[in-house]
Structure 1
Amino acid sequence: MPVPAPRPVVGILLLIFVSAAWGSAFPLMKDLIARMPVADLLAERYGIAALVLAALRPGRLRRLPEGTWPAGVLLGLLFGVGQTAQAVALHDLPSSVSGFTVGSHVVITPVLGLVLLGARTSPRVWAAAALAMAAMAVFAVLRGAEGGHVSPPALAATLLSAVLYAAHTLVLGNSPAARQNAYAVTVIQLGTIAVMTGVLAAPDGLTPPATPGDWAALGHLSIVVCALGFLARSWGQVHVPPVSAAVILSAQPLWVTALAVALYGEPLTVSVFLGGGLIALSMLLIVLPGGPLGPGRRVAGPVPPRPSG
């Protein structure tokens, strides 16, 4: 299947949807984890998402080109291990510290790209990443840490998850199989995460949701956050380079805060305006004229090496 011509606006809108969908998952996950084991919730969430997408378009999983399965499994392992490490470490970390540490993937992504792939990143994109990182610090510091002892092993595990999320972004943006077979790769990576977390949950058996409200929350997490979110991200990164995608996805704390204000009546504070402003500025650096996704710019995959001589 040929890779479609780059359409930056489509990619940006898809990634904004992903950021909002994943931001909506935080309060639901925090609520459900109080009544369900982490591994059980993750296994059910990703398992339902994989089954729904596979049932909707089973033909997309037949006669796949070589390299599609390895790409999907690798992406699933990177994201699944990262999410499991983050969820387990959250028991020993304030949520603000965890969120700030995970958010560092917006800076880790260009660093990994430079070290591992030799990918060149413009100063404007570095500035956007730095602004997004500053926004993470605002959300973490100004909103106040929850207190308590910060466990070094938990902090290290959360930092590992940030590195794995950055690697996931780079692999997704640079894998030909992921770019050419986004639907199949999405289903495979969701299934991989479901199997991995299912193995962790198997010894004690799966605990299903106990109430209709919990089933509704699981449905949102499975269909909107996982199935549609991962699919939109796979398609979005066909049109947006990895580092720019990481900057757009860094708006998740802003969506979490907006939902908390709208649904739970939390007050609008200085951190909301300052952090939100920094995130908006970082995204403007990416999408306005002169940026990597601005008018007249082409969005492509990895730059091929120049011929010698």
Structure 2
Amino acid sequence: MTPPRRASPLATLGLLAMTAVWGSTFVLIKDVVGRMPVADFLAVRFALAALAMLALFARPAWRLGWRQSVRALLLGLLYGAAQLLQTWGLKLIAPSVSGFVTGMYVVFTPLLATVLLRQRPNGAVWLAVLLATAGLALLSLNGFSVDAGVWLTLASAALYALHIVGLGQWSRPEQAPGMSAVQMVAIAAVCLLATAPHGPQPPPDRAAWLAVLYMALVAGAGAMLVQTWAQAHLPATRAAIVMTTEPVFAAGFAVALGVEAPTWRMVAGGALVLAAMYLVELAPRRAAPPPEALHHEV
């Protein structure tokens, strides 16, 4: 059994940087999927990401061994299926509702960790989950009805949570490049299958190509590498709570680019999400006894 790993501030910063990049893609995705089919967009994006990962990390991927390779493939299949379900759901519901329901992985993650791994989050973690959920609601919701799109998106949130739990359990820092590459190949395969039998259509123009390249290389390959490495250092539930800052960054980019005007809901929702992250990230370290005290207790 692997001993519990101590949370790393650098891993938290990595996840924050990753979610900032994800948040920057909302405006780009909205523009691109308006001009090409969703499945084709995902297939091209992740196929390019997979090619880039294999070009850089083919040797680490080959050295993983069969067990870690199978695990990485399974994680990639989960993530790819989640991407498709989330995007199909987005066609049926408002983007704000999609953002909230997708963020429910912050609730599913501790539940799955409890059921599958017998991990029992403490009271502070559950309070952080509630704060993050309330923050997501303020950021995203102006009305809510449960329909097929909501159910599809909720299923995607459950798959994202399963991916977070599995990655937290199986990822190792030294294997992050290889596991990232194998995951990306599996994600690309799932998305390419969704375009059968005709196969993916390319982006329609230069602006779309540039957006897809950014989302493939930075928000795709780069983000997966960072997440895989960071989750080797962070408990799954803590990682999920840190990643709920994605809609905060998305709102910030929307305001900065002039797409949306700032509102009190953005400020209050963002504050609740940041409070949740503080609760699980900074408060435990401030409350921990100094190393000298631990040394004397031994």
Does the pair score TM above 0.5?
yes
Instruction: Give the superposition deviation at 1:295.
Output: 6.0
- Answering whether residue 182 of structure 2 is matched by residue 191 of structure 1, we say no
Query: Partner letter of residue 256 of structure 1?
Result: A
1:26 & 1:37 partners in 2: Cα distance? 16
Work out the percentage of aligned pairs sharing the same amino acid.
35
2:203 maps to 1:209: yes
Determine if contact 1:39/1:197 at 8 Å carries over to the other structure: yes
Deviates more, 1:269-278 or 1:150-159: 150-159
Q: CA RMSD in A?
A: 2.2
Most deviating of 246-255 and 96-105: 96-105
* Partners of 1:92 and 1:151 within 8 A in 2: no
For 1:124, the equivalent position in structure 2 comes to 124
Judged with a 3 Å threshold, the aligned counterparts in structure 2 of structure 1 residues 96 and 265 are, in CA distance, closer, same or farther, namely: closer
Is this contact kept in 2: 1:46–1:193, CA < 8 A?
yes
- C-alpha displacement at 1:66, in angstroms? 3.0
Indicate how the Cα distance of structure 1 residues 265 and 95 shifts in structure 2: closer, same or farther if over 3 A, else same: closer
Partners of 2:156 and 2:259 in 1: CA distance: 31
Query: What displacement does 1:74 show?
Result: 0.7
Shift of 1:7: 5.9
Q: How far off is 1:57 after superposition?
A: 3.0
- Worse overlay, 248-257 or 56-65: 56-65
Cα deviation, residue 203, structure 1: 1.7
Q: Would you say the 8 A contact 1:53–1:187 is kept in 2? A: yes
Q: Which deviates the most, 240-249 or 45-54?
A: 45-54
1:28: how far off? 1.2
- Determine whether 1:160 maps to 2:155: yes
Whether 2:271 is the aligned partner of 1:277: answer yes
Q: Which residue pairs with 1:290 in the alignment?
A: 284
Contact kept? 1:6, 1:238, Cα under 8 Å: no
* 1:266 to partner: Cα distance: 2.2
Contact 1:169 1:242 in 2 (8 A): yes
Question: Equivalent residue of 2:260, what SS?
Answer: coil
How has the CA–CA distance of structure 1 residues 6 and 51 changed in structure 2, closer, same or farther, with 3 Å as cutoff?
farther
Residues 254 and 294 (structure 1 numbering): CA distance in 2 closer, same or farther, change over 3 Å? farther
The equivalent of 2:8 in structure 1 is 8
Q: Distance in 1 between matches of 2:290 and 2:233?
A: 11
Query: Pick from 232, 242, 263: which aligns with 1:238?
Result: 232
1:297–1:211 CA distance, 2 compared to 1 (3 A)? farther
CA distance in 2, matches of 1:71, 1:170: 12
Contact 1:45 1:218 in 2 (8 A): yes
Shift of the 54–97 alpha-carbon distance from structure 1 to 2, 3 Å rule, reads: same
* Equivalent-residue separation in structure 1 for 2:65 and 2:288 (angstroms): 34
- Which amino acid in the other structure matches residue 175 of structure 1? W
| Closer, same or farther: CA 294–164 of 1 in aligned 2, 3 Å | farther
Distance 2:146 2:197 in 1: 27
Query: What residue number does 1:67 align with?
Result: 67
Give the gaps of 5 or more residues in structure 2.
292-298
Partner residue in 2 for 1:253: 247
* 1:130 CA drift (Å): 0.9
* Shift in alpha-carbon separation, 1:35–1:181, aligned structure 2, 3 A: same
Partner of 1:307: none
State whether residues 287 and 294 of structure 1, in contact with CA within 8 Å, keep that contact through their aligned partners in structure 2: no
Q: Give the whole-Å Cα distance in 2 for the aligned partners of 1:296 and 1:57.
A: 41
Measured at CA, do residues 112 and 133 of structure 1 come closer, stay the same or move farther in structure 2, by a change above 3 Å?
same
Other-structure match for 1:181: 175
Q: Which residue of 2 aligns with 1:218?
A: 212
| 1:10-25 paired onto structure 2 within 5 Å | 10-25=10-25
**TM-aligned CA deviation for residue 63 of structure 1:** 3.2
Q: Is the 8 A contact 1:10 1:239 kept in 2?
A: no
Check the 8 A contact 2:18/2:223 in 1, yes or no: yes
User: For residue 75 of structure 2, what is the amino acid of its counterpart?
Assistant: L
Residues in 1 aligned to 2:117 and 2:59: alpha-carbon distance in whole angstroms: 34
| 1:103 and 1:162 in contact (8 A); partners too | yes
Measured after TM superposition, the shift of residue 78 of structure 1 is 0.8
Q: For the residues of structure 1 that align with 2:290 and 2:72, how far apart are their CA atoms? A: 29
Instruction: Measure how far apart 1:112 and its partner are.
Output: 1.1
**Is the alpha carbon distance of 1:288 and 1:88 closer, same or farther for their aligned partners in structure 2, counting shifts above 3 Å?**
same
Q: 1:289 to 1:135 in 2, by over 3 A?
A: closer
Task: Quote the Cα distance in structure 2 between the aligned partners of 1:226 and 1:294.
Answer: 36
